[in-house]
C-alpha cells in the first residue's frame, strides 16, 4: 500500500541554483510529515561590517552580496543615501539607471532561463546537455545574456560588481559612439527576445494553480524597476518607508537565511508577482504577443514564472533601446567630452530607504547615518529570504498534488524543479544573520 510508504528524500546539494542549499522531505502514511528547505551557506555578516563606512563603500560593498544582481544592490543603496542627503538626480541619471538595470534583468533572466531552469523541461541535467537537444535556443540565450552583460558594462565598466554608480548619478557617461553600437545591438536583439517568449510559452510547463499573494513595486509612469511604491494583490499600497510595519522576518533553525512574512503570511516576489500586478503597464506589442500565445496574466500557475521572465527580457531589450534612442551626453553640447555626470551632495545624518526590483524581486535597504554621512545602522532584505516561506508552502502543495506515491526520483526532480522556478539566490539570502552578542 502506498499509504504505508515511508520515504525520506534528501537532496544534499541543490544544483542549478545560486549558492548552497538542500531539501529535506519526509513522507509518512501518504502525508508530508516534514519539509525543510535548508540554506546552509555560511552567513557573511554584511550588515555588521557596513557600519562606519561611507556611501561609496556601501555601494561597492553591498554589490558583493550577490555576483548575479550587483546592480540591484547598488541602486537600492544609492537611493537610500540620496534620500538622506537630499540629493535629486537629473532625469538623465534616472533614465540611465533604468537602462543599467535593464542590463541586469536581461543578463540574470537569460542565465536563469537557459542555464538553470530550462534543462528540467527537456530531461537534461545541464545546459551542456540541453545544447545537444536545442542548440539554437541555447545559443540565443547565451547571446541575450552576453548583451545584458555588455549593457551593464556600458555604465559600469564590468558586468559583475560594476564600478559606475555614485551618489548623485554616475562616475562616467558612455560616449555617443558606444551608445550607438549598443542601440544597434539592442534593436537587432528584438527578434531573439520575441523568439525567446514564444519558446518559453511552448515548454511543457506543469499546470499547477495556487493561491498566493504577489508583492511588487509600482510606479505610475512605468513598469517599475528602479522606483515606486510597494503594492500587493491583497490590496497593500505602501511607501517603501513603511515596509517594516507590514513585513516581518523571523529566523528558523534550519536556515542561515531569515524567512519573511507579509502580515503573518507567505508571499511571492519576482517576475511573476511583478507581471501579475503591473501587466497593464507592459507595452501593447508585448501584451499582444503573450495573449496570442495563450498565456494570460495575472496567472496563478507558478510555472508561468519562466514566461514572465522571458517577457521581462523582451521588455528590458525594448526599454533599453527606447531610452538609449534619446541618449545625449549630459550637460554638454553633442559630441564633446564630459565631466562627471553627477550632481553634488553633502553627506549628513539621517535615515534613508532604498528599494528596487532586483531580477528575483524587491530588494529593500535601510541605513542610518551620522553627521559625516557614515553608516551607523544597516538593514538589507533580499528577495530570496522573502520567497523562502512561499517556496516551502509551494513545495507542500505541488508535491502533494503531483502524487506522494510516485517514485522517489520523480518526487526529487519535481521538488528541485519547483525550487528552481523561484530562481533562489542563496548567496543573497545568507549575507546577514546578525551576530547576537551575549556578554557574561
Partner 1 sequence: MEKPRIAVHKFSSCDGCQLAFLDLGEDLLTLTAQIDIRHFAEAGILGEDEAVDIAFIEGSISTPADEERIRRIRERSRLLITIGACATAGGLQALRNLADAKAWTAAVYASPEYISSLDKVQPIRALVPVDFELWGCPVNSRQILAAVGSLLNGVVPIDERDKVCMECKRQLAVCVMVSEGKPCMGPVTRTGCGALCPRFGRACYACYGPAETPNTEALGARLRGLGLVGHEIAQQFLGTTNQMPVFLDAAQRWEKTP
Question: What would the x/- binding string for partner 1 be over residues 339 to 368, using CB under 8 A?
Answer: -x----------------------------
Give least dist CB 290 to partner 1, A: 27
Find cell 561597492 and name the residue.
Answer: 60
- Residue 138 vs 302, nearer CB to partner 1: 138
CA-closest candidate to residue 37, choices 57, 17, 7, 52? 17
* Phi-psi label, residue 203: left if phi above 0, alpha if psi -120 to 50, beta otherwise: beta
Give least dist CB 263 to partner 1, A: 26
Angle formed by the axes of helices 408-421 and 383-402, to 10°?
Answer: 150
**Quick one: 296 exposed, middle or buried, by C-beta within 10 A (0-12, 13-18, 19+)?**
exposed
Distance between CA atoms of residues 283 and 319, nearest Å: 10
Find cell 562627471 and name the residue.
Answer: 340
Does 218 bind partner 1 (CB under 8 A)? Our answer is no
Does 436 bind partner 1 (CB under 8 A)? Our answer is yes
Specify the stretch interacting with partner 1 by CB under 8 A; choose among 53-61, 199-207, 288-296, 302-310: 53-61
Does 334 bind partner 1 (CB under 8 A)? Our answer is no
Does 6 bind partner 1 (CB under 8 A)? Our answer is no
Q: 54 preceded by cis ω (within 30°)?
A: no
Give least dist CB 250 to partner 1, A: 13
Sign of the Cα torsion 299, 305, 306, 309 reads positive
* Beta-bridge mates of residue 216: 231
Size of the site for partner 1 (CB under 8 A): 68
Neighbours of 203 (CB within 10 A): 16
Does 44 bind partner 1 (CB under 8 A)? Our answer is yes
- Residue 138 vs 231, nearer CB to partner 1: 138
- Residue 66 vs 282, nearer CB to partner 1: 66
Distance between CA atoms of residues 385 and 14, nearest Å: 16
Q: Write a three-state SS string for 42-110.
A: CCCCHHHHCCCCCHHHHHHHHHHHCCCCHHHHHHHHHHHHHHHHCCCCCHHHHHHHHHHHHHHHHHHHH
When binding is defined by CB under 8 A, the residue of 19, 168, 271, 383 that contacts partner 1 is: 19
The angle formed by the CA atoms of residues 258, 109 and 302, to the nearest 5 degrees, is: 65
Of 124-163, binders to partner 1 (CB under 8 A) are 124-128, 131, 138-139, 142-143, 145-146, 149, 157-161, 163
When binding is defined by CB under 8 A, the residue of 253, 264, 294, 333 that contacts partner 1 is: 253
Does 192 bind partner 1 (CB under 8 A)? Our answer is no
Please state the separation of Cα 123 from the chain's center in Å: 26
Of 172-191, binders to partner 1 (CB under 8 A) are 172
Please state the separation of Cα 338 from the chain's center in Å: 33
What's the grid cell of residue 22?
Answer: 538542500
Does 220 bind partner 1 (CB under 8 A)? Our answer is no
- Residue 116 vs 224, nearer CB to partner 1: 116
When binding is defined by CB under 8 A, the residue of 28, 64, 229, 406 that contacts partner 1 is: 64
Of 104-123, binders to partner 1 (CB under 8 A) are 107, 111, 115-116, 119
Does 316 bind partner 1 (CB under 8 A)? Our answer is no
Does 103 bind partner 1 (CB under 8 A)? Our answer is no
> Where does this chain bind partner 1 (CB under 8 A)?
13-20, 41-46, 48-49, 52-53, 57, 60-61, 64-68, 70, 107, 111, 115-116, 119, 124-128, 131, 138-139, 142-143, 145-146, 149, 157-161, 163-164, 166, 171-172, 251, 253, 256, 340, 425, 427, 433, 435-440
Amino acid at each position: 500500500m502506498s499509504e504505508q510508504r515511508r520515504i525520506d528524500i534528501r537532496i544534499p546539494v541543490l544544483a542549478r541554483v545560486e549558492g548552497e542549499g538542500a531539501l529535506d522531505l519526509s513522507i509518512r502514511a501518504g502525508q508530508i510529515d516534514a519539509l525543510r528547505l535548508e540554506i546552509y551557506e555560511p552567513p557573511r555578516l554584511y550588515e555588521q561590517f557596513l557600519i562606519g563606512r561611507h556611501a561609496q563603500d556601501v555601494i561597492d560593498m553591498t554589490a558583493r552580496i550577490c555576483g548575479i544582481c550587483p546592480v540591484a544592490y547598488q541602486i537600492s543603496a544609492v537611493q537610500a543615501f540620496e534620500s538622506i542627503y537630499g540629493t535629486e538626480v537629473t532625469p538623465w541619471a534616472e533614465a540611465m539607471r533604468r537602462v543599467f538595470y535593464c542590463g541586469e534583468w536581461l543578463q540574470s533572466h537569460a542565465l536563469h532561463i537557459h542555464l538553470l531552469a530550462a534543462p528540467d523541461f527537456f530531461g537534461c541535467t545541464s545546459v551542456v546537455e540541453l545544447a545537444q537537444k536545442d542548440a539554437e535556443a541555447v545559443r540565443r540565450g547565451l547571446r541575450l545574456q552576453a548583451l545584458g552583460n555588455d549593457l551593464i558594462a556600458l555604465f559600469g565598466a564590468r558586468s559583475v560588481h560594476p564600478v559606475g554608480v555614485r551618489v548623485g548619478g554616475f562616475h562616467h557617461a558612455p560616449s555617443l559612439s558606444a551608445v550607438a553600437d549598443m542601440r544597434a545591438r539592442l534593436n537587432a536583439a528584438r527578434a531573439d527576445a520575441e523568439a525567446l517568449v514564444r519558446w518559453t510559452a511552448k515548454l511543457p510547463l506543469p499546470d499547477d494553480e495556487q493561491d498566493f499573494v504577489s508583492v511588487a513595486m509600482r510606479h505610475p509612469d512605468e513598469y517599475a524597476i528602479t522606483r515606486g511604491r510597494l503594492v500587493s494583490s491583497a490590496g497593500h499600497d505602501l511607501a517603501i518607508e513603511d515596509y517594516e510595519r507590514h513585513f516581518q522576518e523571523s529566523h528558523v533553525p534550519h536556515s542561515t537565511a531569515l524567512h519573511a512574512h507579509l502580515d503573518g503570511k507567505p508571499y511571492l516576489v519576482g517576475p511573476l508577482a511583478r507581471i501579475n500586478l503591473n501587466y497593464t503597464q507592459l507595452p501593447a506589442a508585448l501584451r499582444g504577443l503573450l495573449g496570442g500565445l495563450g498565456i494570460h496574466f495575472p496567472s496563478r500557475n507558478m510555472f508561468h514564472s519562466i514566461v514572465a521572465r522571458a517577457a521581462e527580457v523582451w521588455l528590458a531589450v525594448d526599454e533599453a533601446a527606447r531610452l538609449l534612442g534619446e541618449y545625449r551626453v549630459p550637460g554638454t553640447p553633442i559630441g564633446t567630452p564630459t565631466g562627471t555626470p553627477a550632481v553634488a551632495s553633502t553627506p549628513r545624518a539621517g535615515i534613508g530607504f532604498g528599494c528596487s526590483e532586483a531580477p528575483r524581486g524587491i530588494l529593500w535597504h535601510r541605513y542610518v547615518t551620522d553627521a559625516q554621512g557614515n553608516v551607523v545602522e544597516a538593514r538589507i532584505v533580499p528577495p530570496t529570504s522573502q520567497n523562502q516561506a512561499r517556496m516551502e508552502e509551494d513545495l507542500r502543495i505541488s508535491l502533494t498534488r503531483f502524487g506522494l506515491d510516485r517514485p522517489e526520483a520523480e518526487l526529487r526532480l519535481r521538488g528541485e524543479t519547483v525550487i528552481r522556478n523561484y530562481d533562489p539566490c542563496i548567496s543573497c539570502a545568507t549575507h546577514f544573520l546578525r551576530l547576537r552578542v551575549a556578554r557574561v
